[in-house]
Amino acid sequence: MAAMNVRGFILQASYRVISGPAGQVPVIHIHGRLEDGGTFLVRDDRQRPHFYIRAADAGRARPLRIPEPQPVDRRTFDGEPVCRIEAETPSDIPAIRDRLHAAGIETFEADVRFAMRYLIERGIKGSCVIEGEAVPGKGITWVFDNPVIRPAMLTIEPRVFSFDIETDAKGEKLLAISMYAPGIDEVLIVDSSNREMPERAIRCENEYAALEKFCERVRVYDADVLTGWNIIDFDLSVLQRIAARVRHPFVLGRDSGPIRIRKPEGYFGSGQANVPGRLVLDGIDLLRGAFIRMDDYSLDAVARGVVGEGKAVHGDVRDRLGEIIHNYRNDLPAFALYARTDARLAYQIVEKLNVVQLALARSQLSGMTPDRVAASIASFDFLYLSELEHRRIVAPSVRSSDSSVYAAQQGGHVLEPIAGLHRNVWVFDFKSLYPSLIRTFNIDPLSYVANPAATDDLIQLPGGAFRREPAILPRMLDDLFPRREAARKAGDDIASNAIKILMNSFYGVLGTPACRFYNPALANSITGTGREMLLWSKRWFEAAGFVVLYGDTDSLFVHSGVDDPAAAQEQGRQLAVTLSAQIARYIEERWRVTSRLELRFEKLYSRLFLAQARNSTRGASKRYAGMRHGRDSAEFVGMEVVRSDWTPLAKQVQRELYQRLFTDQPVDVYLADVVRRLRVGEFDDALVYRKGLRKDAEEYTATTPPHVAAARKSSQPLGRTISYVMTTGGAEPIDNIQHPIDREHYVTKQVKPVAEPVLATLRLDFEKVIGDTRQMDLLGM
């Protein structure tokens, strides 16, 4: 045993219930990586599960067969004293809480997770100092029992280990497990026929032997993070089933204990996996949690976009499963290369995009373990409850029924666009508008006053009134803003992005009924005041003689009226500074608070096209394309080119048409040529639709959209995204095309819709532009 004082990064926080002489005792388990590269486990049996009720309700609560309420030095938001109710184990809490709720007694913090409360009460977010006696552990460098742990700041380089499995068509028989990490690039192939193995392939006599070797590789490499593509819902789940069938213990963790997999909730939900002492971070979830948008989240599509390399397939890509099984039986080198490539690509994607490091950085900010940082409500909960802990204030419990109750909420304000093609347009935006409004006007659950008196000196906003004393959220944002600015100046994109994601989540969380701090008055105060700032700025520009072409939530598009782009650019910068000062003066005079709002000159569009709404003369919100001054390619917002449910052909045509429109090149000859080539089959590879199923294909009963019809015809196991083409026989999946492609469908439903807005601007007609070409095709000329 050694006395130690070390720093570590927390990878996992959980608990176990141990039976002892005094009964069952919950023991906190915290796993992590030490600063020196070793690993640690903190075990603490001193924490007791508890929650609170009002002291005034203690008398009514006692007859309900609950533990004796104990007075404590804490109060509710309204200043009422509370009592603490302590249970033997965390699993006892729900029944006690439900009896109290059934009796009409409100509880406080009765839903807070046991291990999270342990960290909240100690103010620990991501990293900690551990001080106490330690002993060497089995598979763990040091084990601490009941040490002192305190907050710390620490950055580590996690050991990431990627894997992928190959199975038979039904996902029942294991064919191979591929692995990739620094120093590891190999595949374990299940083969009882004693065939010669290709390069970097290891023969395993049976499934048991493959599982044994896989667990050994993970243990020897000592992975902090297990990753891959869809590994929770597929790979780990399949391996767990196979391990049960062949009676393999399948111990992947640093500590004893089974792998626990929680099934996904909802068709687009993701499962969660708990491996003792290690994080399981699925590549798809890492990208989505980091708000990295992809049209297609398949490994092949993402790898091609990020790494510049796809899956190692050589046959018909429409039948990859058939090729895998064929190669397993007849071409082991090709099979091994395919399997190894999958594991490597998953590793390279998360490495290049820095999404694992981003998860760790977000953990340091929010206090959530890295596998839960994408849970914005839980992250907000952790931060706000930590601050309430310092103030000795308790928060309401979340009731399951709360999530179904919505009050009217305003969204961001949108100004109707002036549709058409415009030159030299300024774009101004409020930097981090909603967080800045929270800071400026002290918007906070604790500062909100539900029934203000006429004599109260409050900040009156469209949604409600707020006290002037410094509150929790504004103070948190006052800390985060300069930290993000410092990270940006230092070139630390990971830290900057982590802070941005956290700050931007605050408004959304306050407007979500599933959050314990949900209050529509807070959300409406933010959006309502944002609307007022947008309209006040619009009036300011108009009073100065400018035309505001469009506005959306935090941005304004203003026609400069200046012919020289360079001069317009400089004037835009000056106007942003002037208007920011004017807004600050207005806010100070009206509300007697210091403005934290900053209007920025974001960019100058030398050409801007504001689209018209379909079948209307009105401008379309959130749909525009522009050529930025000094850039060579057009930018698109809300147009078909940035939507995943339009074909590659439509996107290609739209991009080229606007490029030509903005650079004064003819569009008619190009468009006629596209339609001609489309009709003769030159673009068949660009005609694939991709659309996600929101539920199982069989569950669509009221209507049958094309992608559902295609899904029902597929000969392959279905994923969440269906790839199909329109044929003369209707929608058909690309793995089972039985009829000729209906190319006229693509002329009228893909090319024509993206072309017509450009043609209308140039006073051209689609049928006339392509008509001669069509006639020549019909005559065989």
What is the DSSP secondary-structure string of 476-520? Answer: HHHHHHHHHHHHHHTT-HHHHHHHHHHHHHHHHHHT-TTSTT--H
Average pLDDT, the chain: 91
- Domain 414-621: give its CATH code: 3.90.1600.10
Owner of token pair 């525009």: 624
Lowest mean pLDDT among 5-14, 61-70, 306-315, 743-752: 306-315
Q: Is the pLDDT of residue 154 over 70?
A: yes
Q: How confident is the model at residue 315 (pLDDT cuts 50, 70, 90)?
A: low
What is the number of other CB atoms lying within 10 angstroms of the CB of residue 143?
17
Q: Which CATH superfamily is domain 640-778 in?
A: B family DNA polymerase, thumb domain (1.10.132.60)
User: For position 455, what pLDDT does the model report?
Assistant: 81
- Give the mean pLDDT of 11-27: 90
**Under a CB-based contact definition with an 8 Å cutoff, are residues 65 and 87 in contact?**
no
637-686: pLDDT as tens digits: 988 887 878 999 999 999 999 999 999 999 999 999 999 999 999 999 99
- Domain 160-365: give its CATH code: 3.30.420.10
How far apart CA 492 and CA 132 sit, in angstroms, is: 34
User: For position 511, what pLDDT does the model report?
Assistant: 84
Specify which of 64-78, 616-630, 637-651 reaches the highest per-range mean pLDDT: 64-78
Q: Is the pLDDT of residue 291 over 70?
A: yes
**Under a CB-based contact definition with an 8 Å cutoff, are residues 85 and 51 in contact?**
yes
How far apart CA 331 and CA 370 sit, in angstroms, is: 40
Q: Is the pLDDT of residue 618 over 70?
A: yes
User: For position 696, what pLDDT does the model report?
Assistant: 75
The contacts of residue 21 (CB under 8 Å, 6+ apart) are: none
- Give the mean pLDDT of 705-724: 80
- Give the mean pLDDT of 510-532: 91
User: For position 702, what pLDDT does the model report?
Assistant: 78
Q: Is the pLDDT of residue 321 over 50?
A: yes
Q: Where are the domains of the chain?
A: 2-152, 160-365, 414-621, 640-778
How far apart CA 37 and CA 10 sit, in angstroms, is: 13
Q: Is the pLDDT of residue 254 over 80?
A: yes
Helix (H, G, I), strand (E, B) or coil at 639: coil
Q: Is the pLDDT of residue 559 over 80?
A: yes
DSSP H or E segment with residue 741: none
Say if pTM beats, i.e. exceeds, 0.75: yes
User: For position 404, what pLDDT does the model report?
Assistant: 41
Q: Is the pLDDT of residue 424 over 70?
A: yes
Q: Is the pLDDT of residue 266 over 70?
A: no
Q: Is the pLDDT of residue 397 over 60?
A: yes
- Give the mean pLDDT of 238-257: 94
Choose among 497, 251, 508, 256: nearest CA to 375.
Answer: 508
- Give the mean pLDDT of 550-554: 94
Q: How confident is the model at residue 512 (pLDDT cuts 50, 70, 90)?
A: confident
User: For position 409, what pLDDT does the model report?
Assistant: 60
Q: Which CATH superfamily is domain 2-152 in?
A: DNA Polymerase, chain B, domain 1 (3.30.342.10)
Torsion of CA 422, 427, 433, 436, to 10 degrees: -150
First-last CA distance in the chain: 91
User: For position 405, what pLDDT does the model report?
Assistant: 42
User: For position 514, what pLDDT does the model report?
Assistant: 87
User: For position 640, what pLDDT does the model report?
Assistant: 83
Choose among 226, 219, 192, 220: nearest CA to 208.
Answer: 192
How far apart CA 72 and CA 392 sit, in angstroms, is: 9
User: For position 9, what pLDDT does the model report?
Assistant: 97
User: For position 268, what pLDDT does the model report?
Assistant: 45
Q: Are strands 465-466 and 272-274 parallel, antiparallel or unpaired?
A: unpaired
Q: How confident is the model at residue 212 (pLDDT cuts 50, 70, 90)?
A: very high
Distance of CA 432 to the CA centre of its chain: 19
- Give the mean pLDDT of 253-260: 89
Q: How confident is the model at residue 779 (pLDDT cuts 50, 70, 90)?
A: very low
- Give the mean pLDDT of 32-61: 96
DSSP H or E segment with residue 758: helix 752-761
